[in-house]
């Protein structure tokens, strides 16, 4: 699937997102370089939480809304977080829910277009 069509689909139907498909599309359209990033009070070292790194980097590059970006986490967001609101799994998702884009800061660029 085309990345832009996928992002439009997720924006209009958030539950259509699938984490693995999101990551596969990012890998198809971008060269990934692990990058350190801050997400609220969490500091992620380069190479850790690469899935979150890729999704947040894509969200910034494409100017995605907080809601669409959260949906890109697919089942991790809808099942792992929303169905367990008091849980402590998926801290990057939970922090982003609280701080949004104001809490995200990258030390270096994580994604470079290849297409």
Say what the pTM is.
0.96
Number of domains the chain is built from: 1
Mean pLDDT of 53-74: 98
Q: What is the CATH number of the domain that holds 72?
A: 3.20.160.10
Mean pLDDT of 92-112: 97
Confidence of residue 42 (pLDDT cuts 50, 70, 90): very high
Of 62, 60, 70, which Cα lies nearest the Cα of 97?
70
pLDDT of amino acid 115: 66
Q: Which domain holds residue 23?
A: 3-113
- pLDDT higher than threshold 80 for residue 81: yes
Pairwise CA distance, residues 46 & 36, whole Å: 4
Mean pLDDT of 4-27: 98
Share of the chain above pLDDT 90, in %: 95
The C-alpha R_g of the chain, in whole angstroms, comes to: 13
């Amino acid at each position: 699937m085309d990345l832009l069509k996928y992002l439009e689909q997720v924006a209009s139907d958030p539950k259509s997102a699938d984490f693995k498909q999101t990551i596969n599309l990012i890998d198809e359209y971008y060269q990934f370089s692990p990058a350190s990033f801050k997400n609220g009070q969490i500091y992620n070292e380069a190479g850790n939480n690469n899935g979150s790194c890729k999704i947040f980097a894509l969200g910034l590059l494409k100017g995605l809304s907080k809601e669409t970006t959260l949906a890109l986490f697919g089942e991790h967001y809808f099942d792992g977080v929303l169905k367990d609101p008091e849980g402590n799994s998926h801290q990057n998702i939970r922090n982003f829910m609280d701080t949004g884009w104001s809490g995200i800061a990258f030390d270096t660029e994580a994604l470079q277009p290849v297409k």
